[in-house]
Structure 1
Amino acid sequence: MLAWIWVMLILVVIGLIVITPVQITLHYRRAGEEDHLLVELSAWFRLIRRTYEIPAMNVERAGRMPELVAKMRTFQQGKVKKESVNDITGRQVKKWSDLYQELLKRVHDLRPLAKALCKRVRCTRLEWHTQMGTGHADETGALTGIVWGVKSVIVGTFSHMVTLRAIPRLSVQPVWNESVLHTEVNVHLRIYLGHLLHSGLKLLFRMRRGKWLPKWQTTPSQA
């Protein structure tokens, strides 16, 4: 009898984990030369949450390649847990690219797997508002049309990657007599933890299977 109780408890816990939605909130703001990025992961009505804040980002020259220097603060339950300064160089970007290419070789159908996972993501809020001006009316008018076009392309691509559950709210407000740039992006995403676990298990299974397959089977394009 006790064994059945433990089995039922384990099944209930697994069921709760599978149906738990994970909320992802992204907020980016640029005012003049200042950038601010906030990413929050939360579950169970924000009882469990972790926040990553980048209050400052600068692009600096380091030799031939520019690097992105960002100050990051990690919050857990509203308290600062970690504060660090991270830099992203061209060498690191190349290392990530090589790692991605190696993963493509080892994992069969990685791209369809990632595409299917992205489609499981629900976007419940998408807002992108911009105020901009160059100080010249003719340049500002032309640039406003270009910005509208760029936004339309980005939002259209994003809507094909995830499942939109809200109408995107976009705006571009020209400032005719002043040189100014202010943009703000708010995105709310939601995905069930069960979908993440399922995709992770499929990824691990395909990685392990890829170790035992001949190279011509794992990378037919190179055969």
Structure 2
Amino acid sequence: MLWLWVLLALVLLIIFIVLASSLQIRFSAARQGENDKAVVDVKGLFGLFKYRLHIPFVKFKNFSEGVEMKLETVNRSQGSLLAEGEPNITGENIKNAFEDLKDLLRHTFQFNRWLTGMLSHVRCTDFQWTTKVGVGDAPSTAVTTGMVWGLKSSFLGFAFRYIRLETQPRLNVVPNFNQTEFTSVAKGLLYLRNWHLMVGLVSLLLRVIKVKGGMKVWQQVIQKAIHARPLHKT
């Protein structure tokens, strides 16, 4: 019987370690001239699994064709490309996504309260955002620089109203008085404990079940998103 108690203790210890560990999300986004790219790295279980969502480029084509981009999902633990695709984000896509979102919100009990509660457990331990701007002449560049500072401050004030900021954000706006330029690079690091993630998912499920027809609507929207997903496995 002793080995059963030892096995049980070992299992409980593993569960405790898993729940006590954190999900790490590192992101970066950059716009340099006409080039846009973004990377999101997700790491969990002390680095046992690592996934990367890579958007090498984003290109605005026109108002009818929308935005063209390339997506890649990579399993960094195994060094393999899981899926890739080149979706277009059009006005029709955005309209349909907005309608689906409204449908989900209607079929989730107090979704806003759940979301703010989840975000309150997210910790930001690093954030830096540098922008270089120039519009061709010194007076206009100075005015534009001030506007960019204001937009950044407003955005951060809104974002970190819900997320716990545990670092001093490093913001910078560099004016280029000699030429036209717009370059912006943002990087950050977020943490969320697995325990809070698990409890949050269970809470979301209960909130969906509490609304009549909630599970059916969520299943329909998720299935639609999967079938419309432009990524294909390699």
TM-score, normalized by length of structure 2?
A: 0.84
Query: Aligned letter for 1:41?
Result: V
Partner of 2:74: 75
Deviating 4+ runs (over 4 angstroms)? 2-6
1:61 aligns with 2:62: yes
| Residue of structure 1 equivalent to 2:20 | 19
Shift of 1:97: 1.6
Deviation readout 1:182-204 (Å, 9 max, x if unpaired): 11000110001111110110111
SS at match of 2:128: strand
Q: Write the distance in 1 (CA, Å) between the matches of 2:187 and 2:82.
A: 24
CA 174–116 in structure 1, closer or farther in 2 if over 3 Å, else same:
same
1:8 maps to which residue? Answer: 9
Query: In structure 2, how many angstroms separate the alpha carbons of the residues matched to 1:212 and 1:133?
Result: 53
Q: How many angstroms does 1:143 deviate by?
A: 0.3
User: RMSD over aligned Cα, in angstroms?
Assistant: 1.9
Alignment of 1:53-202 (within 5 A): 53-61=54-62, 63=64, 67-77=66-76, 78-202=79-203
Identical-residue share of aligned pairs (%): 27
8 Å Cα contact 2:18/2:45 also seen in 1 = no
Helix, strand or coil at the partner of 1:111: helix
Distance 1:173 1:27, change over 3 A: same
State the one-letter code of the partner of 1:73. Answer: E
TM superposition shift of 1:91:
2.0
Q: Which runs of 5+ in 1 are unaligned?
A: 214-223
Offset at 1:45?
A: 4.0
- Between the aligned partners of 1:93 and 1:130, the Cα distance in structure 2 is 28
In the alignment, residue 80 of structure 1 is paired with which amino acid? Answer: L
Does the 8 Å CA contact 2:122/2:190 hold for their aligned counterparts? yes
Aligned to 1:211: 212
Aligned-partner residue type, residue 100 of structure 2:
L
Residues 123-168 of structure 1: per-residue CA shift (max 9 Å, x gap): 0011000111011111101100100000010011111020001001
Partner-residue secondary structure (3-state), 1:112: helix
Cα gap change, 1:177/1:16 in structure 2, threshold over 3 Å: closer, same or farther? Answer: same
Distance in 2 (CA, whole Å) between partners of 1:58 and 1:48 is: 31
Instruction: Report what 2:224 is aligned to.
Output: none
Deviation at 1:62, TM superposition (A): 5.5
CA distance in 2, matches of 1:39, 1:163: 19
Identify if the C-alpha distance between structure 1 residues 137 and 192 changes in structure 2 by more than 3 Å, giving closer, same or farther.
same
Q: Distance in 2 between matches of 1:211 and 1:49?
A: 37
Q: Give the 3-state SS of the residue equivalent to 2:150 in structure 1.
A: helix
Specify the SS of the correspondent of 2:57. strand
- Does the 8 Å contact 2:20/2:194 carry over to 1? yes
Gaps of 5+ in 2: 215-234
- In 2: Cα distance, 1:124 partner to 1:96 partner: 31
Aligned length: 211
